[in-house]
Structure 1
């Protein structure tokens, strides 16, 4: 019986059944709908007079390894439905937690990765008054190879949208879970070094690589290191695991562990080289400057070495030396000498380095080789019109003669600028003076709009064209002054004419004709009856409103108890919420665990026949928590070590929540007005002890969350690790930081509590 049990345990290690597993992460990135239209080209909220509001978008994403089917009916990998993201917003980025408590990115665990999947997305506008409008639908096949692990996986970005005005942007990355390898995560390998095998796993392929001294399918066969008869001169070989030893015959002095003689005894190496004895031979390690089997050749380092910039190479025993030309320096003469390093240019001049010399670019006002001479700007005679030049530092000043002005006295002073002549005279400027010339004002074309000007000194008279009046014919005569429009029509004046804007019910040049209002076909879904100065619409069945523009909403009475009502013409239908069915969505599904997409994401679903919990209960897999087993402890299960035994779980949750509330505020100052509250739930406690003195510790695994969603494990532990040493104690917490190990004995054997306040990661 003992033999059978031992054989069963051995086979469980050798013939382990393996299923390839991988993780697919889907990240919502951004969405925009630039024209705010729905899938059929209409507006999200269409009222009389145009589109008043943008869309209130929510999303459905269907992911399948093969084909999502029409309208996303096959979603074998995932079916994600969000709540409304924003009110009246068609251009936004998605948050880290999407309404409906959806983690972003969303992680999908798969039994195998085929290298591709199909993504189907539908977008709706949430409408509380009418049926939700479909904004868009589109699908795309994604091709990606799985990365080795999460740390090596990279995001690939994609877009969906059935028209150019819409873009739904998302990212995807695929990676193998721990101990799985290959582009499809089909190779399973866990390193081991025990009675069942001695191997490590290739980091890329997952292939088993035997440790030294082992061979076989599972590397469990000890290699016979003596098979090659390594011992010489009659030595006896003794095999060990991954190595061997030689027992040499007595009476001789041997050079090494292989019972070989010393081949370096005759000192064959020359020029001070070191001799290393090998099996049946020796090797010389040459000093600098020599090479050859015996280090007998002196190396000429200048043979294969050229000094840059015409430098001369000089050979030495341990290398070479370059003699550089003027203007260069460095080991290979490859560095140009900076002649500007001594700052030779004065008065803030700029030094330009040249080969073996330099050149100075002087600031304004200085000149010379080193910018040491002040420039006389008057030497170029810059002043004009007999002005006198006075030299200044980096400039000059011109003293002008009468009648001129300007920096260089280049401008003639305009004596007419003070308007010394009469209105009907023209001022003529001269050097240092002026004179007046009588004007004919008609020469300046004062009359407008093609009028004729007649000279009438000291003024003029304008003879206006038809339709204009005023002194210069600049006024359009108002032809509406005689009120030509009948029946209270509005008159609009034009040049030498007018037009009438008629009130409803009238038309014609002067609004003298009665109008048939039905000619414009105003009734959208009905028959128009013309009235005097009006009309009435007789609506067809299913429509209402002044223009028969509104479809009657049969969903207004809210007939669907647990679902979404979809309005149809003269009818409605109910799209039920999860776990409900029936014509009016009023019946809880009897066996939700039998659904195509059961509610338990990472666990076992059990039907309970209790409507209070939707007729099901989830038993989670290891590492997952929550009502639907959708919380991954690897991502959200933070760990602290407390000193001693945990006696009051509820009190410790409260203290830990208070500490995290403080740290959340410290690390979220840009969002200090959010008012979010941190909550804590302890999901696992384990007995540990300090590695130094075996003092009792408790390993506490917990979840923390705010109204925005769960906080990640790495974030929480980084906050606590980076907090000041006295901060946990302020909230009554004794948190330990140091080396710890699991306690394997009887809990009553734990040593007494030792006070401390540090953190263990």
Structure 2
């Protein structure tokens, strides 16, 4: 889908005459009929296959045509099409004299034609206007033209439909050739896949919007690359989730059984020697003169008892 645009710029008819050579009375009240059709090596009569458009009376004899893009939008003239632009065309522009206000063909005298030009050739889709000037014996017409795609249509012949979007179904804009261009933070065929936080673990992390990193069960940390140990694991670590691998000196399912009670708690008193003997248990070897589980009691060995006969 696209539109052929024709910008009429200036028409010169200094002597104010018709194609027949007869002068217009009182002057040539000039309007234009435009016919756009498929390429013909020799432009011949027949239907205007790409469309046709007429203007109101634009001036008398010689005049410049003012730009009217803000007003009724008559100039440039619009010839829309909804097929693949073939890249070639034929264009016929006729200038007519209107004695009255009725511009219909049947209302005009048969010799009301002022001039007729016909061009043909190739024309690529693009923003640039092509300027042209055609001169006949008594008249001159300056104009320019171009073909542009309609909104949401792209490519060399306006055949690629693309509507930019930024919603659940995609996050992209359209390139001139109609290909998608993802908005920052998105990837995938329709740019509907978020790009997670850089470094987010491929298996254990995921995201629902760009630059986030949500952890799957069993994983934690900014990049979801740290495992979560078994619930209740006290003195232990993991390399896969829900493990509890005990730190040195600890035992039991939750690594809460102290295998190194002597070092951690120093229970033995008075210079006694401490030996670990399994989970949370220990033995104190007392120095001479001391007793008790923790060698906390002093032996009464220095008390002398006298026996009387």
TM value normalised by structure 2: 0.52
- The whole-number CA distance in structure 2 between the counterparts of 1:78 and 1:58 is 18
- The whole-number CA distance in structure 2 between the counterparts of 1:224 and 1:66 is 53
Q: Which runs of 5+ in 2 are unaligned?
A: 101-107, 214-222, 230-234, 236-309
How far is the alpha carbon of 1:135 from its aligned partner?
A: 2.6
Structure 2 partner of 1:238: 205
Pairing partner for 2:117 from 138, 155, 158: 138
- The whole-number CA distance in structure 2 between the counterparts of 1:83 and 1:210 is 46
- The whole-number CA distance in structure 2 between the counterparts of 1:205 and 1:109 is 20
SS in 2 for 1:171: strand
2:54 matched to 1:81?
yes
Structure 2 partner of 1:400: none
Q: Structure 1 residues 57 and 132 mapped into 2: Cα distance closer, same or farther (>3 Å)? A: farther
SS in 1 for 2:118: strand
How far is the alpha carbon of 1:120 from its aligned partner?
A: 0.4
Mapping 1:262-301, distance limit 5 Å: none
> What whole-Å deviation, never above 9, does each CA across 1:407-466 have from its counterpart, x for those lacking one?
xxxxxxxxxxxxxxxxxxxxxxxxxxxxxxxxxxxxxxxxxxxxxxxxxxxxxxxxxxxx
Structure 1 partner of 2:11: 31
Conservation of the 8 A alpha-carbon contact between 2:31 and 2:56? yes
Pairing partner for 2:82 from 100, 105, 111: 111
How far is the alpha carbon of 1:138 from its aligned partner?
A: 1.7
Q: Structure 1 residues 61 and 202 mapped into 2: Cα distance closer, same or farther (>3 Å)? A: closer
How far is the alpha carbon of 1:145 from its aligned partner?
A: 3.3
Structure 2 partner of 1:22: 2
2:170 matched to 1:170?
no
Mapping 1:8-407, distance limit 5 Å: 21-40=1-20, 42-44=21-23, 55-67=28-40, 70-71=44-45, 73-82=46-55, 84-86=57-59, 89-95=60-66, 103-112=74-83, 113-126=85-98, 132-141=111-120, 143-147=122-126, 153-163=127-137, 165-196=138-169, 198-211=170-183, 215-220=187-192, 237-241=204-208, 242-243=210-211, 244=213, 245-248=223-226
Q: Structure 1 residues 59 and 108 mapped into 2: Cα distance closer, same or farther (>3 Å)? A: closer
- The whole-number CA distance in structure 1 between the counterparts of 2:23 and 2:153 is 48
Structure 2 partner of 1:416: none
Q: Structure 1 residues 37 and 212 mapped into 2: Cα distance closer, same or farther (>3 Å)? A: closer
Conservation of the 8 A alpha-carbon contact between 2:96 and 2:115? yes
Q: Structure 1 residues 54 and 74 mapped into 2: Cα distance closer, same or farther (>3 Å)? A: same
How far is the alpha carbon of 1:208 from its aligned partner?
A: 1.7
SS in 2 for 1:246: coil
How far is the alpha carbon of 1:146 from its aligned partner?
A: 2.9
How far is the alpha carbon of 1:31 from its aligned partner?
A: 0.8
TM value normalised by structure 1: 0.24
- The whole-number CA distance in structure 2 between the counterparts of 1:36 and 1:213 is 65
Conservation of the 8 A alpha-carbon contact between 2:186 and 2:192? yes
Q: Structure 1 residues 230 and 81 mapped into 2: Cα distance closer, same or farther (>3 Å)? A: closer
- The whole-number CA distance in structure 2 between the counterparts of 1:200 and 1:28 is 38
- Could you say which structure has the greater relative contact order, defined with CA pairs below 8 angstroms and 6 or more residues apart? 2
How far is the alpha carbon of 1:200 from its aligned partner?
A: 1.0
How far is the alpha carbon of 1:55 from its aligned partner?
A: 3.7
> What whole-Å deviation, never above 9, does each CA across 1:724-751 have from its counterpart, x for those lacking one?
xxxxxxxxxxxxxxxxxxxxxxxxxxxx
How far is the alpha carbon of 1:139 from its aligned partner?
A: 0.3
How far is the alpha carbon of 1:25 from its aligned partner?
A: 2.2
The alignment covers a number of residue pairs equal to 206
How far is the alpha carbon of 1:213 from its aligned partner?
A: 6.3
Q: Which runs of 5+ in 1 are unaligned?
A: 1-20, 46-51, 148-152, 252-761
- The whole-number CA distance in structure 2 between the counterparts of 1:190 and 1:127 is 48
CA RMSD of aligned residues (A): 4.0
How far is the alpha carbon of 1:180 from its aligned partner?
A: 1.9
Conservation of the 8 A alpha-carbon contact between 1:119 and 1:142? no
How far is the alpha carbon of 1:32 from its aligned partner?
A: 0.8
Structure 2 partner of 1:711: none
Conservation of the 8 A alpha-carbon contact between 2:53 and 2:79? no
Q: Structure 1 residues 210 and 134 mapped into 2: Cα distance closer, same or farther (>3 Å)? A: closer
- The whole-number CA distance in structure 2 between the counterparts of 1:57 and 1:210 is 51
How far is the alpha carbon of 1:56 from its aligned partner?
A: 4.0
Conservation of the 8 A alpha-carbon contact between 2:163 and 2:174? no
Conservation of the 8 A alpha-carbon contact between 1:44 and 1:125? no
